[in-house]
């Protein structure tokens, strides 16, 4: 915070603000415009200030992790895993520095910790005194949004730290949002089988390297945990202290630590709704109940928070840090990978762009299927594979390549696998369809239909060299279409007010047969809240609202994507969640007080 303030990247707000929605509305405007971090010094109902947006740009994330830019993270890991030398004495000596870095990984126990300068025990515990934010209007309550949740395997003693949202339920209890794939769930299940409670600590704040590490998709390597990753990034062993009421190591430099337990014999509690990182609300569901036995803190703590929701948000830059950090490991396993990127519109797991050095037919599918098997990449929904000269961070350039080099049907492939449990559109909870798009330059064996071994002599480029999109008034009408437009790249974007089963498929059949479809390669059907003039909004909606196996199909010469809401009459049995929208009264209040807060007019 001190460093950001020195650089003019942190603003103090002394005007009283509410932890319920008001801070969210201000912070949301800031992060979407690349504005500074904020320190709210006067939060109504709490003695503690709130810091938000500390990692709100990729430059600030790099600064927090001690590198000049995020590519520096990849270089650090590449240097560590490349223990080369060929066996000579000189070669072996060249690895000493790298091995010394690796030895910094285990944390070190300290006797005195700033995080334990103040201690609340028993009846002293009152979570309402901590300025936990209610972020969005339909949220089920206040949520800790940067929690470092620490548990220990009851059998092996191996530590885990993860970032799982924490809903405050009462003065001394919270929900514990452990999803089925998470390590915390596995630890709780082991505790249940052993007939014992699971000790838990929730650290809030401290070293940004550890906050980042809690979000990183670490591989299951013995001895490698989040403390070790933070220690490696810092170049020194991470300081930890033993908990006051739990036998767990907690970050010695945290701002707050909640200590307690989850009893696996207890009934789970209803948690949520929560305005989630997908930009939609996660609906209420049953999750474990965390009992807080003690709260420890610094003498003058600052409560750090983030907000998640409609992208781009602060979490996009943490995701980008993980991309850079784990690129060398991905390349070690799949060496033809040149680069990869998870754009904000895909909210991490919904969309992956990967460029490769291609040397044989079918290699794009080999790489995509390999990625589906790498850790949390198993949740990826759409993977687009590109030639090595395509810049994967150029969103528009990637989709141009798709229309140029990917024939619907010939160069698209659907499969199935695990899906993030927060995905509301999949065919089942945590299970659904996936799509691979091969947008690489085709080899002769890849051109033509699967029914014939004879190549199609039409060549590789699929989009017309000169396609002129039609004006909206020249496009066909259809029941429920509120807005539509075509792009020069061959995309047809439609906002549909859906009122009946099968409406999107009927629309696709009509539009694909219309003369206006000539030169179009993708028909993107969105819900009625989508701005067809905003390509990021279109893809964000599409990717959230499809199960690729059910909702993406070849219609005539184009690929149709049904990103409209699914209805019970179509066999969709789960409740469809709303998009996150801020309460208009809060928006008006922030607009009215913007100058009173002392915030820049240019970021209003």
> How far is the C-alpha of 410 from the C-alpha of 417, rounded, in Å?
21
> How far is the C-alpha of 435 from the C-alpha of 456, rounded, in Å?
24
> How far is the C-alpha of 139 from the C-alpha of 284, rounded, in Å?
10
Two structure tokens written together for 184: 């915390």
What angle in degrees, to the nearest 10, is found between the helix axes of 22-32 and 584-597? 70
Q: 517-526 in b/e burial notation, b at 16+ Cβ within 10 A?
A: bebbbbbbbb
Sequence-separated (6 or more) residues with CB below 8 Å from residue 412: 406, 435, 436, 437, 438, 552, 554, 559
> How far is the C-alpha of 211 from the C-alpha of 77, rounded, in Å?
19
Token pair 């007010």 is found at 497
Report how far Cα 98 is from the mean position of its chain's Cα atoms.
31
Catalytic residue among 207, 276, 420, 537: 276
The strand order across the sheet containing 431-439 reads 337-341, 351-356, 382-387, 431-439, 412-418
> How far is the C-alpha of 506 from the C-alpha of 525, rounded, in Å?
11
Two structure tokens written together for 275: 């305005």
> How far is the C-alpha of 157 from the C-alpha of 438, rounded, in Å?
44
Token pair 């589906």 is found at 372
Q: What secondary structure does DSSP assign to 359-384, as a single string? A: -STTHHHHHHHHHHTSGGGGG--EEE
276 is catalytic: yes
How many Å from the N-terminal Cα to the C-terminal Cα in the chain? 23
Q: Which residues are catalytic?
A: 276
């Amino acid at each position: 915070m001190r460093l950001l303030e020195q650089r003019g990247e942190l603003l103090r707000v002394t005007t009283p603000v509410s932890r319920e929605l008001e801070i969210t509305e201000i912070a949301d405007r800031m992060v979407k415009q690349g504005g500074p971090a904020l320190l709210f010094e006067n939060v109504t109902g709490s003695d503690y200030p709130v810091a938000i947006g500390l990692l709100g740009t990729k430059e600030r994330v790099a600064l927090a992790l001690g590198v000049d830019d995020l590519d520096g993270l990849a270089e650090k890991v590449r240097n560590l895993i490349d223990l080369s030398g060929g066996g000579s004495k000189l070669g072996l000596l060249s690895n000493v520095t790298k091995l010394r870095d690796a030895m910094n990984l285990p944390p070190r126990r300290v006797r005195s910790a700033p995080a334990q300068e103040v201690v609340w025990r028993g009846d002293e515990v009152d979570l309402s005194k901590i300025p936990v934010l209610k972020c969005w209007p339909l949220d089920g309550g206040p949520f800790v949004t940067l929690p470092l949740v620490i548990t220990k395997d009851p059998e092996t003693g191996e530590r885990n730290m993860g970032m799982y949202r924490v809903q405050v339920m009462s003065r001394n209890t919270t929900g514990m949002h452990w999803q089925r794939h998470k390590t915390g769930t596995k630890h709780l299940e082991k505790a249940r089988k052993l007939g014992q409670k699971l000790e838990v600590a929730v650290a809030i704040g401290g070293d940004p390297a550890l906050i980042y590490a809690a979000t990183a998709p670490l591989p299951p390597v013995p001895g490698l945990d989040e403390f070790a990753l933070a220690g490696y990034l810092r170049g020194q062993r991470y300081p930890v202290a033993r908990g006051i009421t739990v036998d767990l190591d907690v970050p010695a430099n945290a701002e707050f630590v909640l200590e307690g337990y989850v009893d696996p014999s207890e009934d789970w509690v209803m948690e949520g709704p929560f305005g989630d990182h997908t930009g939609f609300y996660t609906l209420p569901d049953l999750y474990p109940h965390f009992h807080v036995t003690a709260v420890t803190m610094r003498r003058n703590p600052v409560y750090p928070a983030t907000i998640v929701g409609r992208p781009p948000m602060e979490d996009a830059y943490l995701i980008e840090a993980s991309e850079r950090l784990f690129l060398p490991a991905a390349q070690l396993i799949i060496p033809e990978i040149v680069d990869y990127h998870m754009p904000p519109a895909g909210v991490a797991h919904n969309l992956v762009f990967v460029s490769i050095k291609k040397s044989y037919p079918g290699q794009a599918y080999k790489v995509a299927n390999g990625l589906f098997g790498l850790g949390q990449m198993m949740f990826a929904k759409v993977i687009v594979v590109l030639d090595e000269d395509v810049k994967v961070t150029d969103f528009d350039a990637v989709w141009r390549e798709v229309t140029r080099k990917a024939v619907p049907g010939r160069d698209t492939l659907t499969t199935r696998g695990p899906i993030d449990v927060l995905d509301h559109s999949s065919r089942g909870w945590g299970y659904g369809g996936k799509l691979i798009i091969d947008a690489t330059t085709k080899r002769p064996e890849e051109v033509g239909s699967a029914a014939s071994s004879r190549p199609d002599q039409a060549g590789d480029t699929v989009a017309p060299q000169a396609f002129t999109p039609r004006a909206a008034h020249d496009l066909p009408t259809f029941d429920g279409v509120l807005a539509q437009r075509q792009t020069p790249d061959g995309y047809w974007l439609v906002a549909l007010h859906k009122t009946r089963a099968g409406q999107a498929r009927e629309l696709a059949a009509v539009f694909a047969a219309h003369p206006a479809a000539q030169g179009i390669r993708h028909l993107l059907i969105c819900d009625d809240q989508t701005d067809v003039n905003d390509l990021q909004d279109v893809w964000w909606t599409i990717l959230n609202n499809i199960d690729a196996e059910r909702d993406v199909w070849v219609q005539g010469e184009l690929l149709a994507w049904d990103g409209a809401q699914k209805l019970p009459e179509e066999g969709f049995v789960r409740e469809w969640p709303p998009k996150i929208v801020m309460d208009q009264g809060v928006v008006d209040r922030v607009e009215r007080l913007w100058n009173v807060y002392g915030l820049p007019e240019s970021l209003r």
